[in-house]
Amino acid sequence: MKYENDIFSIEYDRHDEEFIKLLIESLEQKSKPIMNFFEIDKLSKKFQVIIYHNLQDFINLITENGEKPQQYAPWIVASAKDGNINILSLDLYKKAEGHENCDMRHYLKTLVHEFVHVCHHEIILDKKIRPPLLMEGIATQLAGQPYKVSHIDCKAEDLIRNFYDTANCYEYSNSIMGYLLNTKSHDEVLDILREPHKVDVAELIEQTNNFLDKENAMQQ
């Protein structure tokens, strides 16, 4: 069976119908506000939502058929590779490292997170340079994933060179993006997101920590 609208298409088996309904609802609800955020009227191409029921197929996609094994880690559950949203089935998702306690709510947020990557990719000026820090920051923020810390405790180099190997990388990226969203105008944020490689990460860490200190002090 196939569902299709202006923005995406999704193929599925009949026995997944109820589950797919929730996915479609969630994406339809979130797609407009997210596209508005990025000031996109129409995506350059309609994307597919591809659900993987076979883990090896998913690993093959991520590692480009085993050629880049370093690109896969057992906690990866979805990817916006090739302009599509590739995501594990809910069963496989719950079996992935760190996702044991996840439910449908987390799953839907992951789906929206990947959609943010698709939209962000549209506005990035140089598609060859895609530093993860602000990409993951804006994706976790707009997907409403509650990854927050009270202090960033790593070196700028870690977030620039070894982002995914850095402990709490998603929490740090979420907090940095939170700082930007709270202190910059929408136009300024979009300018930063168009050329995310141009930010001074060391300065951003410092500014975010100052921002978090003030927030923490206010809460006490």
User: In the complex with Zn ion, which residue's Cβ is closer, 136 or 171?
Assistant: 136
User: In the complex with Zn ion, which residue's Cβ is closer, 139 or 142?
Assistant: 139
User: In the complex with Zn ion, which residue's Cβ is closer, 142 or 201?
Assistant: 142
What's the CA gap between 131 and 114, in Å, rounded?
16
Q: Which of these ranges, 3-11, 88-96, 130-138, 195-203, lies near Zn ion under the rule CB under 5 A? A: 130-138
Residue 50 per-residue DSSP state:
E
φ and ψ of 87, to 5 deg: -145, 145
Selected binder of Zn ion within 20, 139, 143, 204 (CB under 5 A): 139
User: In the complex with Zn ion, which residue's Cβ is closer, 23 or 80?
Assistant: 80
Q: Does 23 contact Zn ion by CB under 5 A?
A: no
Burial 70-105 (b: 16+ CB within 10 A, else e): eebeeeebbbbeeebbbbbbbebbbebeebeebeee
What's the CA gap between 199 and 72, in Å, rounded?
27
The residue of the chain with the least Cβ separation from Zn ion equals 139
Q: Does 118 contact Zn ion by CB under 5 A?
A: no
Q: Does 138 contact Zn ion by CB under 5 A?
A: no
CB of 113 to Zn ion, least distance (A): 5
CB of 87 to Zn ion, least distance (A): 11
**In the beta sheet, which residues pair with residue 79?**
86
CB of 18 to Zn ion, least distance (A): 26
User: In the complex with Zn ion, which residue's Cβ is closer, 141 or 208?
Assistant: 141
- 3-state secondary structure at position 10: strand
User: In the complex with Zn ion, which residue's Cβ is closer, 75 or 103?
Assistant: 75
CB of 125 to Zn ion, least distance (A): 20
CA angle 96, 101, 103 (to 5 degrees): 90
Query: Which residues 6+ apart lie within 8 Å of 220 measured at CB?
Result: none
Q: Which residues bind Zn ion (CB under 5 A)?
A: 136, 139
